[in-house]
Each structure stands twice: as structure tokens, then as C-alpha cells.
Structure 1
Amino acid sequence: MWNTVKAKVMGLKILHGFCNYCTQRHASVGVWVNRTPEKHRRCGQVPGKTRLFATRNYLSTEPPWRVLFFGTDDFAVESLKLLSASRDSNDRVVESLEVVILSNDVPVKKFADQSKLPVHIWPLGDLQGRFDVGVVVSFGCLLREGLINQFPCGILNVHPSLLPRWRGPAPVFHTILHGDTITGVSVMQIRPKR
């Protein structure tokens, strides 16, 4: 199948068309790709001199984004505060912000209520087209592939350790219990099966 101008793949804005195989294969590189017919033997397409340019603008709509935040504890509240403040700032990175929680008695719920943010209780239904990006901070549940794929710009996970050390639950407790003198925060993109 052939992609035309402004196709979107893997959260990258594609300025020129390319076949699906080559777009999937080369979009994340972020450079001009000039493929001649002999380079397309795998997909069987003959693009001639079609070019692909991928930029890190994450979605053709560009900011501000519609954000769905997944979180529970006080650590998550700090990230939620920054996202909430961005709605009212001059740069307007966040257009709308909604929150997903596991139960009603968590600090994120309290902050969301104070800030008049819409709150959803886990598990979620279909979100297709409602949000551009997800942010997960201290949520405690694995997100299934079908949910991850509903966010065109992907999902970011804020993790309170320098990965790979103390990956998984309770990284702050492990950092303290093991007497680590250096720690930090890792931000990563969530992908299905990774």
C-alpha cells in the first residue's frame, strides 16, 4: 500500500510519501531517505525518487496536545501539577488534561478534583481519537497493546530511578533501602510488548 503526503507513522510527521514497509522501517531515523527501485525488493513497490523526511514534531497537529494522565501517588502528583500548569502557560503544550486513577483514595484524585480535571476510573474503554499522548507516572498497572495504540503520539512513562536499576514497582523504596547515593528520574516511551 502506498502512503501519500503527510502520512503519520510512529508519532513522526512524514512530509513525503513512501511505501508502508519503508515508512515503518525508516521513519524513526529522522533523516532524508532516498530509495531507488532496487532498494524496495522486499515490499515490491517502485517509488522512483520519492523521498521521506521524518521530523520529531510528534503528530501533525503539533502542540497543544490532548493528554491523558495515568497516576496514583504523591510522586505522580508532581508531574500532574506541571502538566496542569502548562494548560495556562504561554507555550500551551497541553490543550486538555484528563486523569486515570485506580481508586478514589489516591493523591492524584485529590489534586485532580482541586484542579477540576476530569477523572476516569481504571479500566478504560475505547479512547480512539480523544487523546494525542498519554503520560504514566506510578500507575501500577500494565497498559495493553490496544490501549497504547490509541495514542497517536504514544505514551511516556516517568519512572523514579535511573533505569535499568530498580525497574519495576517501588523504585524509591529500593533506592533508600540499598543506600544509593545517586538516583534520578527516567522518562521513556511505552511500546507494546516492551
Structure 2
Amino acid sequence: MRLVFAGTPDAAVPSLRLLAASGHEIAAVVTRRDAPVGRKRVITPSPVALVAEELGIDTVRTDRLDAAATDRIAALAPDLGVIVAYGGLVREPLLSTPKSGWINLHFSLLPRWRGAAPVQHALIAGDAVTGASVFQLVPALDAGDVFAEREYPVPSTATAGEVLAALSEEGATLLRGVVDAIAARTAAATPQAGEPTLAPKLGDDDGRIRWGESRGSVLARIRGVTPEPGAHTTLDGARVKILAARAASDDAPNLEPGALALNGREVLAGTGTEPIVVDRIQPAGKGPMNAADWWRGRRDTGTPPRAGS
């Protein structure tokens, strides 16, 4: 089939590469415009744009799938549109422009976690299993019939970034199979069943650690917002990022929520239940560092530091 592929971040790259290596033709790649990246805000093409250039595929750079973008895509006469984390909505008349419409690779087991941040919300909620789904795109958010899905048991210490990286690889294979089935006219989709839950884009406050919650909830939030938007708290009025943490041993001393203490070579932080070990942090204006090194290098006022909630 003649495909149009829409995607932007690293999570879409495995799907693009796998489809480009298949027997299908990718007429064009649609991706968001070059954007500032990093602390120096260097204008940089999206990961998908870079791979499309490497593969010699024409690219449509746009932040909105508006009338101009629709006209450019329609001129390509695609058989099927494929979208993976593009970062924008496909509306009519573009939705009906490809002969077989659009299919979407989504990183959850639909209808759970419809929206822009399914992996992050799954981890924050403490889901033991998540997965990937390929579904027919419809006007309603992530509500179309599902062609295929694959479960993924969430490792107990994995971050959202690590889970997304794994799902992007497994999902690419799932997506390729659906594209092949649509081309062979053997694809069958079934309506979503169950109560939907929503996964809107995370904001900065979603990364704020609520120290009064249970240890499991605190660790789930840290993992779920790593690397973006990042877990953070305040110490002595200054913002500090928590880059890595884990459950403390059973014999670790209990602490009040937000209280910090050095226990041997480990920095402990109290939660609403048992304490956690903070392994890596990033103080304001500094680079990432080992939490124990930070503790030894701080100015000791005689009062143990306490994290803000």
C-alpha cells in the first residue's frame, strides 16, 4: 500500500523504520516543525524528521493538520494513513482522505488511558500491566475499533521512559502486522470494551512529589514522570529534581513525610508510610549527582533538611 506516516518523537521511530523496510511505500512523513531542544534551546528537527531524511522520504513539517496540510497529503493519494505519537489531531476531511482511513498505534490497552500520556498515567496509577493497541482513528479521542493489542507487564522499577521505549519496539511489530492485514484485506477490528480512563498531557505539577502519600504511590509518581516532566520537590525553598529512588530496606528507620536523613551511605526520605531511598538528585542550577554526595557537600545547619510537599 501507499502510506502516509505521521509521527514526531523517538517513540515513533521504530514504527517508521519497520514500515520503511517493508514492502509498502511511504509517500511522505508528516511531523511537527523543528523546535528548540536542550538548555541552549537549539532549533532541532524531530527524531522522526531526522530518520525520514536519512531514509530519503519527503517530509511535511507542520504543527497543525490544517487545510494546507490536508491538501498536500491528499495530493499524494495515500491508501492508508498511519499515526504514531504525532502530537496533533486528525480531523475531517483529512480523516477520510486515505482510502482506508487512518490507523493509530497507541501505547496502552484501550479503552484504558486514552489521551496524550498513557504510559505516564499507567505508571502513576500503579498499573502492573499495560501494552499497545492499534486502532482505527475516528473523530472521538482514541475511541476507534481495535485491530490488535499486546500486553506488557510493567517491570517494578521501570520508568515511563523505559516502558515507552520498550513499547515503541513491540508496538512497531504490532503495527506492521495490522498494515499487512489491511493490505491483504484480512484485517478485522473489534469495538473497545470497558470503562474508558483518560490520560491527558502531564503538567509541571504532576511531577510534584506528594510526600504524605504511601511509599508505593510516591515511587509510582517518580517513575511515571521520569524523564518528563520530571519528579521534583523543594529543599530550603529551592527546587530539586528527584532522578532516581527506590524502596528502603525493612530495617530502615521510619521518618515523617518529607523528612530526610542519612542512613549509612543512603539518603532516606519519609513518606506517608515507609521511607524511600533517594539515589540521584539534581539541585537547582547544578547537574545530576549522587544523593549521598549531595548530602555530604551541603552546608550543615544542624537541622536535617525537609522536602516540601
Q: Does 1:98 align with 2:45?
A: no
Distance 1:128 1:98, change over 3 A: closer
Once the two structures are TM-superposed, the CA of residue 175 in structure 1 deviates from its matched residue by: 1.9
| Contact in 2 for aligned 1:129/1:150 (Cα 8 Å) | no
Supply the distance in 2 between the matched residues of 1:136 and 1:129 (Cα, whole angstroms): 16
Task: Name the structure 1 match of 2:7.
Answer: 71
TM-score by length of 2: 0.38
Distance 1:96 1:72, change over 3 A: closer
SS of corresponding position for 1:113: helix
Once the two structures are TM-superposed, the CA of residue 168 in structure 1 deviates from its matched residue by: 0.3
Supply the distance in 1 between the matched residues of 2:15 and 2:76 (Cα, whole angstroms): 24
RMSD: 1.6
Aligned pair partner of 2:116 in 165, 169, 174: 169
| Contact in 2 for aligned 1:128/1:150 (Cα 8 Å) | no
Once the two structures are TM-superposed, the CA of residue 141 in structure 1 deviates from its matched residue by: 1.1
State the structure with more CA Rg.
Answer: 2
| Contact in 2 for aligned 1:69/1:80 (Cα 8 Å) | yes
SS of corresponding position for 2:77: coil
Supply the distance in 2 between the matched residues of 1:76 and 1:83 (Cα, whole angstroms): 11
Q: Does 1:107 align with 2:82?
A: no
Moved more, 72-81 or 94-103: 94-103
Give 1:18-37 correspondences, 5 Å limit. none
Aligned pair partner of 1:135 in 82, 87, 93: 82
AA at the equivalent of 1:163: L
Distance 1:96 1:136, change over 3 A: closer
Distance 1:129 1:103, change over 3 A: closer
Aligned pair partner of 2:20 in 77, 84, 108: 84
SS of corresponding position for 1:99: strand
Task: Name the structure 1 match of 2:70.
Answer: 125
Task: Name the structure 2 match of 1:180.
Answer: 127
TM-score by length of 1: 0.60
Q: Deviations over 1:120-156 (max 9, x none)?
A: 0223031156211000111121111100111111110
Q: Deviations over 1:91-133 (max 9, x none)?
A: x2x1334100111231111111111111002230311562110
Distance 1:129 1:120, change over 3 A: closer
Supply the distance in 2 between the matched residues of 1:112 and 1:173 (Cα, whole angstroms): 27
Supply the distance in 2 between the matched residues of 1:176 and 1:111 (Cα, whole angstroms): 29
Q: Does 1:151 align with 2:98?
A: yes
Once the two structures are TM-superposed, the CA of residue 190 in structure 1 deviates from its matched residue by: 1.0
SS of corresponding position for 1:139: coil
| Contact in 2 for aligned 1:84/1:97 (Cα 8 Å) | no
Identity of aligned residues (%): 42
Supply the distance in 1 between the matched residues of 2:57 and 2:76 (Cα, whole angstroms): 19
SS of corresponding position for 1:184: strand
Once the two structures are TM-superposed, the CA of residue 170 in structure 1 deviates from its matched residue by: 1.0
